[in-house]
Amino acid sequence: MSESALHGLDERQLEAVTALRGPVLVLAGAGTGKTRVITHRIAHGVDTGAYSPGRVMAVTFTSKAAGEMRGRLRALGVEGVAARTFHAAALAQLNFFWPTLAGDSAPTIVDNKVRLLAHAADTIGIQPDTATLRDVASEIEWRKVTMRSIEAHAAARPGGVGRLEAGRVADLQRAYEKLKDERRQLDFEDVLLACAGMIEAEPHVAAAVREQYRHFTVDEFQDVSPLQHRLLELWLGDRRDICVVGDASQTIYSFAGADSRFLLDFDRRYDDAHVVRLETNYRSDASILAVANALMRDRPGALHLQPAPSGPPGRTMDIAPPTVTAYPDEVAEAKGVAAEIAARVRSGVDPRRMAILYRAHAQSAELVRALADAGLAATVLGGKRFFDIPEVRQAVMALRGASVAPQQRGFLDGVRDVLRSLGLTEEPPPAGGALRDAWEARSALARLAEEAPPGTTLRAFTDDLMARARAQHEPAMRTITLATLHAAKGLEWDHVHLLGVAEGLLPISYATTFEQIDEERRLAYVGITRAGRTLSMSWSRGEGQRERSPSRFLQEIGTGTSSTDSLRAVDARATSGAANRRAGSGSAPLEGPRRAR
């Protein structure tokens, strides 16, 4: 396995993978093989005897990412590593130790913070609307992950929430905590607080946890909050065997308490840390990386991405320089983007390899309509999970039932028979409705069956489906992906359309401070670096009170509007020779890296 763990790594990746003893800091830019390095490093440690799998904890931020990490480790022959989110690891420890400490089962977890807040509001005689309750819930989350008391929160956020002045917000938080205690419940953030408190207060718990886990790896370290960082310190104790991986340029959750200073200051805290910089990008064309580098130039901790010698994988014929298109209004923008995507589909591009990204969910409605008018189905990320779709659950149960019946036909024919009985047809229904959504979901199951290894049985196939559901390992439907920039983090597509690159949208209108604008810049960077082969950016002027101007970020990466309303543009790989082109509703390739004056 040593060969497989070290095979196919570039020089910097190999350096990170073979640095088995901490502290280790891996600064990993977008598309540089971050997850590959993490999993191969753990596999190499296990193979060489430096690690025992059961004593390794790999921490990441989403259940899906943790599931992918476990899958990659299995492929490398490694089983037994605890690849979990902070919350999953903390909850497992609470459930294990609580009965011994308290003589009772651990408290249950609040399933709906807003609903509980509404009940708490009733107890103090106020009736805030649902939007205000959601905002108070967010304030509670921020207060806890930044480790503030209710009083300290009131001092830090003196403006109140909605129509609730700060004093009433504090009263509501106290009522919420009181009601939660009476019901023996913990909310999401309490899980981390309670676990940290337990380890701090109980020496034998601290000793047991530190004996169990000797080697820590933390992914997306730029997104760690003060509370998560404190829990990590308690897990470590006085040991130093930790590897952290992150990219300060992809810090996009500061509003939720993430603090990139933990990443940026790591090598100052551990002055003997082994620092590895991963800057070779294996995802994107050089012209896309030029745009990304220009946007983040001179920002703290920014890495300079360099294209891999071979360029992005796959064909080279569909690579083109990034473009910017100006439209008269949002309807025209949605239709223009849909028309461009339809042309790509007609040319043979798989819809699964294309995405439209935007700043806010509200921008998706017009896009869904425009894509449906063009005959294209879309999936909006952030909606119902694939295995929670009613048609998928129905199909999995039907396939499970068929797997225990005597088989009259082969595996593939059996799967197709079941799916046809539930409504799968040879030709898809029209795009834009529930029937098409259901058809796409069943088609994804059929493709999974077609891709199954030779000799797969119906029972093994349904076992795999149920394992996928538990790990949130969802198949990609043959649809165009629509996603906010936050939801797109960690994903990639060949062709990306970044919509609404205008002042008021990106950066968003309520971003007013330097720090808030910088977070918007990082969001734009995340969107740009999702693209592998082509990047198209667009904005719409609108009219009247909704009239917009192009984003300041476009000016910083080499485009802008002059007094004659023209769009300066040249190939992104050039550094001079700008050619002006009318931007009424036309597009042009981006100019090379250049700062706005």
Binding site for ATP: what residues are annotated? 28-35
CB 176 within 8 A of CB 116: yes
Cβ(127)–Cβ(120) below 8 Å: no
Sign of CA dihedral 150, 155, 161, 163: positive
Q: Three-state DSSP class for 83?
A: strand
Residues of each annotated binding site: 28-35
Q: Determine the Cα–Cα distance for residues 29 and 517; give it in Å rounded to an integer.
A: 21
User: For residue 221, what is the DSSP state?
Assistant: G
Q: How far, in whole angstroms, is CA 414 from its chain's centroid?
A: 36
Q: Which residues pair with 265 in a beta bridge?
A: none
Cα separation of 2 and 20, whole Å?
14
Strand order in the sheet with 24-28: 82-85, 56-60, 215-218, 242-246, 24-28, 274-278
CA-to-CA distance for 341 and 366, rounded, in angstroms? 15
- Structure tokens given for 414: 């059996």
8 Å CB contact between 45 and 202: no
Cα–Cα distances in angstroms (integers) from residue 382 to residues 431, 446, 472, in the given order: 20, 23, 13
AA letter at 209: V
Nearest to 481 by CA among 595, 333, 334, 353: 353
> Residue 129 burial (CB < 10 Å; 0-12/13-18/19+)?
exposed
Distance CA 597, CA 590 (A): 17
Which strand (E) or helix (H) includes residue 275? strand 274-278
User: CB of 389 within 8 A of CB of 441?
Assistant: yes
- Residue 337, exposed/middle/buried by CB under 10 A (0-12, 13-18, 19+)? buried
CA-nearest of 378, 326, 369 to 351 is 378
Helix, strand, coil tally for the chain in percent (to 5): 50, 15, 35
Residue 284 contacts by C-beta under 8 Å, 6 or more apart in sequence?
30, 31, 292, 305, 307, 312, 529, 531, 532
Distance CA 589, CA 277 (A): 30
Contact of 165 with 159, CB cutoff 8 Å: no
Cα–Cα dist 430/2, whole Å: 51
> CB–CB of 258/286 below 8 Å?
no
Judged by DSSP in three states, 455 sits in coil
